[in-house]
Structure 1
Amino acid sequence: MPGQTPLTGRTALVTGSGAGIGRAVLERFAREGARVIVADRDAAAAEEVAAGVGASARYVIVDISDETSVRAAFENLGAEGWAPDVVVANAGVQLFGEDDRVADLDLEVWRRTIETNFTGTFLTLKYAVRTMRDRSGGSIIVVGSPTAITGEGADFTAYSASKAGIHGLVRTVAAGYAADGIRVNTVVPAYTETALVTTISDDPTAHSAIVGRIPLGRAGTPRDVEGVMVLLASDDGAFATGASFAVDGGMSTL
């Protein structure tokens, strides 16, 4: 219809959208016509982002590693008329010990990483699927990583393992719920310059080392990721499910 944008009429929830890629994607969804839900464990950041978007946004405080918190968020949203038909599972952590290769990896770093990244994504999908089954379908987009598919994660054992698990989880859930009209896909960004990675972007040596491994010769930006997210959230991506979309400058494919 005239005047409509790709996400008009949709309600989209983005976890970890108080900052970084999550925030950029959520704000782009709002510009494309969606009602948006800022889901973050940082209450001040979530409130700020929602206020910046305006009346078409609200926020929920959620710890994705806590099933009670995730269940309450989805149930409360449904009761208030904000049940999402688009969910982006973006929240995650990247924790470091003194040596993160497997022989010396601290067990607590492993546990916390898996609990947040893998179990947290599982819980997000669990309650997103329950919500979408009741609404005859929807789109779930999970943020993966090149470290799940290549040797890029050689020094990040826990993080790489958690992301590899996520990639497998997406394929399984996509196959299991296709008949319910629920599409599930993975978007795989490379190193993306946001306010959260200033420790790298402000270090010329570290920045050059990372960019040097990206065939297109530059770091990613949130804008590089947003467009693919809009595609998968909208009717333009209606025939895509169980797929992995690399937005990594060629890092995982060349």
Structure 2
Amino acid sequence: MSPVPGPSGRLSGKTALVTGAAAGIGRAVADRFVAEGARVAYADRDAAGARTAATAATARPVAMDVTDEQSVAAGFAALAADGWVPDVVVVNAGVQLFGEDAAVADLDLDVWRRTHDVNLTGAFLTLKYAVRGMLTIGGGSIVLSGSPTGVRGEGSDFTAYASSKAGMHGLGRTVAAAYANRGIRVNTVIPPYTETGLVSTITQDPAARAAIVSRIPMGRAGTTADLEGVYVFLASDDSAFATGAAVAVDGGMTTL
């Protein structure tokens, strides 16, 4: 396996906000953005976790609950007041309710609502205030964290999660089309099964883990290091003509 390229300073001069940045993919992407030269706001409803993560001189924590419009608005407003209007936003905060999500006939309405509140309504609210800010500075780049479950039947026993991610994919395309002529780009990364705290239930179940990995043509689970570079590319000016795209970085999982 070839080594993952290191930081190249491609985000120098950028100001980024990453939701769900206290852990997992969000933390890894935020850390990489810092290494690439950006100022980075680590946004998370886990305020203590955000403070622990945002240790660099060019990083700051933001307590933000993406399900609460007042919280999202306040987070963006506080950044703007300090001259930190983000020209890069990563819409990454998400939940997957293992042991509660289910096939549609067995799914409780409460589980559906709690999942969609974070994954889809949270994406909507983050996009809403990200776009408002970017319109004041002449544009920017927004990157959404999607899922193979939103593309194919990979999440047949996760109705709420899979549908929320499918909705996020559609939302991203809609916003991309609406603001392409105003300098705002919106693209979606489709990660693989990536071993973070979000999927610890699978990681700790050898049979379940083996079943998922067997569906990845490259033969292994993904890592956050596999994803960071694609987020950097989509956040940077190297992707200046890319919008409305869904970029699969999933070891071939969605090609089957």
Normalised to the residue count of structure 1, the TM-score between the two structures is: 0.95
Decide whether aligned partners of structure 1 residues 228 and 60 sit closer, same or farther in structure 2, where only a CA change above 3 A counts. Answer: same
CA RMSD of aligned residues (A): 1.4
The one of 27, 35, 41 aligned to 1:37: 41
Provide the C-alpha distance between the structure 1 equivalents of 2:185 and 2:162, rounded to a whole number of angstroms: 24
Decide whether aligned partners of structure 1 residues 98 and 18 sit closer, same or farther in structure 2, where only a CA change above 3 A counts. Answer: closer
Please give the per-residue CA displacement for 1:45-68, whole angstroms capped at 9, x wherever unaligned. 1000012xx210001100001000
Percent identity for Structure 1 against Structure 2: 67
**For 1:105-124, what aligned pairs fall within 5 Å after superposition?**
105-124=107-126
**Does the 8 Å contact 2:96/2:198 carry over to 1?**
no
Question: C-alpha displacement at 1:97, in angstroms?
Answer: 4.7
Q: What SS does structure 2 have at the residue aligned with 1:127?
A: helix
Provide the C-alpha distance between the structure 2 equivalents of 1:23 and 1:99, rounded to a whole number of angstroms: 25
Question: C-alpha displacement at 1:98, in angstroms?
Answer: 5.2
**Does the 8 Å contact 1:188/1:246 carry over to 2?**
yes
Query: Does the alignment pair 1:9 with 2:13?
Result: yes
**For 1:20-59, what aligned pairs fall within 5 Å after superposition?**
20-51=24-55, 54-59=56-61
Provide the C-alpha distance between the structure 2 equivalents of 1:195 and 1:64, rounded to a whole number of angstroms: 19
**Does the 8 Å contact 1:64/1:124 carry over to 2?**
yes
Equivalences, count: 250
**Does the 8 Å contact 2:20/2:94 carry over to 1?**
yes
Please give the per-residue CA displacement for 1:164-208, whole angstroms capped at 9, x wherever unaligned. 110110010000001110000000001112244333223322221
Decide whether aligned partners of structure 1 residues 120 and 99 sit closer, same or farther in structure 2, where only a CA change above 3 A counts. Answer: closer
Q: What SS does structure 2 have at the residue aligned with 1:141?
A: strand
Normalised to the residue count of structure 2, the TM-score between the two structures is: 0.95
Aligned to 1:149: 151
Provide the C-alpha distance between the structure 1 equivalents of 2:236 and 2:11, rounded to a whole number of angstroms: 6
Question: C-alpha displacement at 1:44, in angstroms?
Answer: 1.1
Structure 1 residues without counterparts, runs of 5 or longer: none
Structure 2 residues without counterparts, runs of 5 or longer: 1-7
Please give the per-residue CA displacement for 1:71-104, whole angstroms capped at 9, x wherever unaligned. 1111111011111110000001111455611111
Q: What SS does structure 2 have at the residue aligned with 1:134?
A: helix
Provide the C-alpha distance between the structure 2 equivalents of 1:143 and 1:213, rounded to a whole number of angstroms: 20
Provide the C-alpha distance between the structure 2 equivalents of 1:98 and 1:178, rounded to a whole number of angstroms: 38
